[in-house]
Structure 1
Amino acid sequence: MARFSINFGKSLQSFKYAFKGLLEVFKNENNFRFHLLATSITVGMGFYFSVTTTEWLFIIVFIGMVTMAEVFNTAMEKMVDWQSPDPNPQAGKIKDVAAAAVLLASGAAFVGGILIFYKYFMCL
């Protein structure tokens, strides 16, 4: 029979590293701060318009999707810069593709936000 155990010390250390990474992205990535501003506006509108629970779920998924894409993009850019400090067309393509993931996530979130908030703005 398999033994199941959790090392809480290691788990707490993992959270420490994760928050350290979030702080790094927040301090050094302008696009991440822009997405946090958009998040703040969206959450504020959600409270102002008293969106439904289902709409909140979609908003939370959109926010998570965009911020995760931005964090992954940042990690990819840092790794590429570390591995290829000199200008390199292939490195540029990798960074462009990672940025495209953020663009796609942001576009989907934007369209989803329009679908959620459209009816509320039409009632003003």
Structure 2
Amino acid sequence: MKKFVIGRIKSTRYALQGFWLLVRTEDAIITHSIGFLVFVGLGFYFELTPTEWMVQLLSFGALLAIEGLNTGLEKLCDFVHPDFHTKIGEIKDIAAGAVTMIFFAVVAVLMFIYIPHLIR
């Protein structure tokens, strides 16, 4: 049991190190995080319902998580094949496309949440 707990503590430490590395070094994560904070402020201003809060937080969480996966995949591609290669470029483009898809989904969610509040 002690070994299990120590393993979980180490895993958490590594995860937090990765999170901090993303926040310190990736412009896209910083940009999305600023957007997240702006919409948290708007959420308080418009007094969102608990359901609206949940959907907003899950949407931004998904965006940040997929952006993190995209960054990790890009770094892996650069490590495996540092020189330009068409297939590596395609892999990076597909990963960036996934970020774009979730970004548009988040925009749609935010429109569904905030347009009714703006109309009132």
Q: How many matched pairs?
A: 119
Identity %: 29
Quick check: 1:48 aligned with 2:82?
A: no
Name the amino acid aligned to 2:62.
M
TM-score, length of structure 2 as denominator length: 0.96
| 3-state SS, counterpart of residue 51 of structure 1 | coil
Quick check: 1:66 aligned with 2:63?
A: yes
CA distance, structure 2, for counterparts of residue 72 and residue 17 of structure 1:
15
Q: CA deviation at 1:57?
A: 1.1
Name the amino acid aligned to 1:34.
T
TM-score, length of structure 1 as denominator length: 0.93
RMSD of aligned residue pairs (Cα, Å): 1.0
1:109 matched residue in structure 2: 106
Name the amino acid aligned to 1:111.
A
Quick check: 1:39 aligned with 2:16?
A: no
1:79 to 76, 79, 83: 76
Which of structure 1's runs of 4+ aligned residues deviate more than 6 A?
A: none
Q: CA deviation at 1:34?
A: 0.3
CA distance, structure 2, for counterparts of residue 15 and residue 115 of structure 1:
35
Q: CA deviation at 1:60?
A: 1.3
**Would you tell me which structure has more helix in proportion to its own residues?**
2
CA distance, structure 1, for counterparts of residue 24 and residue 54 of structure 2:
28
CA distance, structure 1, for counterparts of residue 35 and residue 103 of structure 2:
10
Q: CA deviation at 1:28?
A: 1.0
Name the amino acid aligned to 1:62.
S
2:16 matched residue in structure 1: 19
| 3-state SS, counterpart of residue 113 of structure 1 | helix
| 3-state SS, counterpart of residue 87 of structure 1 | coil
